[in-house]
Amino acid sequence: MIGYTELQVTTNFTFLRGASHPEEMVLQAVAYGYKKIAITDRNTFAGIVRAHVEAKKNGIQIIPACRLDLLDGSSLLAYPIDLPAYSQLSNLLSVGNLRAEKGHCHLYKKDVYQHAKGLMFVVLPPARLNEVFELDISFKKELKEYRDVLGAHALFIAATRGYRGDDSKLLHRISEVAQALSIPMVAVNDVHYHHPHRRELQDVMTCVREKCTIHNAGFRLHSNAERYLKSPEEMVWLFRHYPDAIRQTEVITEACTFSLDELKYKYPKEITTAGRSPQEELIFLTWNGAKEIFGPHIPEKIKSNLNYELTFIEQVSYAEYFLTVYDIVRYAREKKILCQGRGSAANSTVCYCLGITSVDPTKFELLFERFISSARNEPPDIDVDFEHERREEVMQYIYAKYGRDRAAVVATVTQLHHKGAIRDVGKVMGLSVDTINRLSGLIWDFKDEGFDKKRIISQGINPDDPTIQKVLKLTDEFIGFPRQLGQHTGGFVITQGKLSDLCPILNARMEDRTNIEWNKDDIEALGFLKIDVLALGMLTCIRKAFDLVKNHYDRDLTLANIPQDDPLVYEMVSHADTIGVFQIESRAQQSMLPRLQPRCFYDLVIEVAIVRPGPIQGDMVHPYLRRRNGEELVEYPSEALKEILSRTLGVPLFQEQAMKIAIVAAGFTPAEADELRRSMATFKAKGKVSYFRDKLIKGMASNGYTLEYSERVFRQLEGFGSYGFPESHAVSFALLVYVSSWMKCYYPDVFACALLNSMPMGFYQPAQIIIDAEKHGVNILPIDINDSDWDNKLDVGLQSEDKYFNLRLGFRQIKGLSEKDLEVLVAARKKRYATIQELREAGVSGTVLEMLADADAFRSIELDRRSALWELITKDQQVNALFSSQSVSGDEEQKIVLPAMRLSEHVIQDYATTSFSLKAHPVSFVRAQLESLHAISNVALLHAKAGTVVKVAGLVLVRQRPGTASGICFITIEDETGVANLVVVQKLFDRYRKEIIQSRLLMVEGTVQREGEVIHVIVKRCYNVSVLLGQLTETDEGNLSAKPSRSDETTSPFLSKSKKPAGEPIQGLIFPEGRNFR
Partner 1 sequence: MSKRFVSIWFNHLTTDWFALRRVDLKKIPFVLRSPVRGRMIITAANTVAEAQGIRSGMMLADARAIVPDLEVADDDPSLVERLLTKIGVWCIRFTPVVAIDPPDGLILDVTGCSHLWGGDESYVGDITKKIHSRGYDVRVAMADTIGVAWGAARFGKGSLIVAAGDHQALMSLPSEALRLEGEVIDRLYKLGLREVSQFIRMPRQALRRRFGQSIIMRLDMALGQQMELITPLQPIEPYQERLPCLEPIVTAVGIEIALRKLLEALCFRLHEEQKGLRASEFKGYRVDGKVEKISIGTNHPSHNVEHLFKLFEPKLSTLEPALGIELFVLDALRVEQQLPKQEKVWEASGGLDDLRLSELLDRLANRAGSDAVHRYLPDEHYWPERSIKVANALLEKPNTPWLAGRLRPLQLLRVPERIEVTAPIPDYPPMLFRYHGNIHEIVRADGPERIEQEWWVEQGQHRDYYRVEDAAGRRYWIFRLGHYREASFQWFVHGFFA
> What part of residues 844-883 is at the interface with partner 1 (CB under 8 A)?
854, 865-866, 869-870, 873-876
Which positions from 455 through 494 interact with partner 1, judged by CB under 8 A?
467, 470
**Residues near 851 by Cβ (< 8 Å), separated by ≥ 6?**
814, 816, 817, 913
Select from 259, 414, 415, 437 the one that contacts partner 1 (CB under 8 A).
Answer: 437
Task: Provide the residue type at 862 as one letter.
Answer: E
Q: Does 174 bind partner 1 (CB under 8 A)?
A: no
Which residue lies nearer to partner 1 by CB, 215 or 815? 215
**Least distance to partner 1 from the beta carbon of 936, Å?**
27
**Least distance to partner 1 from the beta carbon of 853, Å?**
9
Select from 271, 433, 457, 834 the one that contacts partner 1 (CB under 8 A).
Answer: 433
Which positions from 366 through 395 interact with partner 1, judged by CB under 8 A?
none
Burial class of residue 1074 (count of CB atoms within 10 Å of its CB; 0-12, 13-18, 19+): buried
**Least distance to partner 1 from the beta carbon of 451, Å?**
17
**Least distance to partner 1 from the beta carbon of 876, Å?**
5
Q: Which helix (H) or strand (E) holds 793?
A: strand 793-794
**Least distance to partner 1 from the beta carbon of 1035, Å?**
7
Which residue lies nearer to partner 1 by CB, 511 or 892? 892
Which positions from 637 through 696 interact with partner 1, judged by CB under 8 A?
none
Q: Does 901 bind partner 1 (CB under 8 A)?
A: yes
**Least distance to partner 1 from the beta carbon of 942, Å?**
33
**Least distance to partner 1 from the beta carbon of 893, Å?**
5
Task: Provide the residue type at 1021 as one letter.
Answer: R
Which one, of 198, 215, 242, 248, lies nearest residue 3 by Cα?
A: 248
Which residue lies nearer to partner 1 by CB, 854 or 975? 854
Q: Does 949 bind partner 1 (CB under 8 A)?
A: no
Which residue lies nearer to partner 1 by CB, 317 or 889? 889
What values do phi and psi take at 616, rounded to 5? -65, -50
| C-beta pairs of 102-110 under 8 Å, 24+ apart in sequence | 102/506, 102/507, 102/508, 102/509, 103/484, 103/485, 105/43, 105/44, 105/69, 105/506, 106/71, 107/43, 107/68, 107/69, 107/70, 107/71, 108/70, 108/71, 108/72, 108/73, 109/70, 109/72, 109/73, 109/145
Q: Does 986 bind partner 1 (CB under 8 A)?
A: no
Candidate ranges 59-67, 265-273, 715-723, 892-900; the one touching partner 1 (CB under 8 A): 892-900
Helices (H), 723-844: 727-746, 748-757, 766-775, 819-827, 836-842
In three-state secondary structure terms, 5 is coil
**Least distance to partner 1 from the beta carbon of 836, Å?**
14
**Least distance to partner 1 from the beta carbon of 928, Å?**
23
Select from 223, 317, 646, 845 the one that contacts partner 1 (CB under 8 A).
Answer: 223
Q: Which helix (H) or strand (E) holds 949?
A: strand 949-960
* Rounded CA separation 437/432 (Å): 9
DSSP state letters, 36-64: EEEEEEET--TTHHHHHHHHHHTT-EEEE
Which positions from 1016 through 1045 interact with partner 1, judged by CB under 8 A?
1035, 1040, 1042-1045
Q: Does 1053 bind partner 1 (CB under 8 A)?
A: yes
Select from 889, 931, 934, 949 the one that contacts partner 1 (CB under 8 A).
Answer: 889
Which residue lies nearer to partner 1 by CB, 180 or 1055? 1055
* Rounded CA separation 145/157 (Å): 13
> Under a CB-based contact definition with an 8 Å cutoff, are residues 867 and 898 in contact?
yes
Task: Provide the residue type at 409 as one letter.
Answer: V
Candidate ranges 212-220, 447-455, 552-560, 661-669; the one touching partner 1 (CB under 8 A): 212-220
Select from 132, 219, 365, 631 the one that contacts partner 1 (CB under 8 A).
Answer: 219
Select from 779, 924, 998, 1031 the one that contacts partner 1 (CB under 8 A).
Answer: 998
**Least distance to partner 1 from the beta carbon of 128, Å?**
5
What values do phi and psi take at 90, rounded to 5? -60, -40
Select from 58, 114, 138, 168 the one that contacts partner 1 (CB under 8 A).
Answer: 168
CB burial readout 942-962, b (16+ within 10 A) else e: eebeeeeebbbbbbbbbbbbb
Q: Does 1075 bind partner 1 (CB under 8 A)?
A: no
Q: Which helix (H) or strand (E) holds 1021?
A: strand 1014-1024
Q: In the chain, what's the furthest Cα-to-Cα distance? A: 108
Q: Does 454 bind partner 1 (CB under 8 A)?
A: no
**Least distance to partner 1 from the beta carbon of 405, Å?**
38
Q: Does 172 bind partner 1 (CB under 8 A)?
A: no
Residues 879/883/888/891 CA torsion (nearest 10 deg): 150
Which residue lies nearer to partner 1 by CB, 168 or 551? 168
Q: Does 434 bind partner 1 (CB under 8 A)?
A: yes
> Under a CB-based contact definition with an 8 Å cutoff, are residues 1014 and 594 in contact?
yes
Burial class of residue 443 (count of CB atoms within 10 Å of its CB; 0-12, 13-18, 19+): middle
Select from 128, 209, 276, 575 the one that contacts partner 1 (CB under 8 A).
Answer: 128
Q: Does 820 bind partner 1 (CB under 8 A)?
A: no
Select from 84, 103, 151, 165 the one that contacts partner 1 (CB under 8 A).
Answer: 165
Which positions from 49 through 68 interact with partner 1, judged by CB under 8 A?
none
Select from 555, 994, 1011, 1012 the one that contacts partner 1 (CB under 8 A).
Answer: 994
Which residue lies nearer to partner 1 by CB, 832 or 1057? 1057
Q: How many residues bind partner 1 (CB under 8 A)?
A: 71
> Under a CB-based contact definition with an 8 Å cutoff, are residues 385 and 340 in contact?
yes
Q: Is 97 left (phi over 0), alpha (psi -120 to 50) or beta?
A: alpha
> Under a CB-based contact definition with an 8 Å cutoff, are residues 460 and 441 in contact?
no
My answer on whether omega of the bond before 760 falls inside 30° of 0, hence cis, is yes
Which positions from 904 through 923 interact with partner 1, judged by CB under 8 A?
905, 909
**Least distance to partner 1 from the beta carbon of 13, Å?**
25
**Least distance to partner 1 from the beta carbon of 1068, Å?**
9
Q: Does 266 bind partner 1 (CB under 8 A)?
A: no
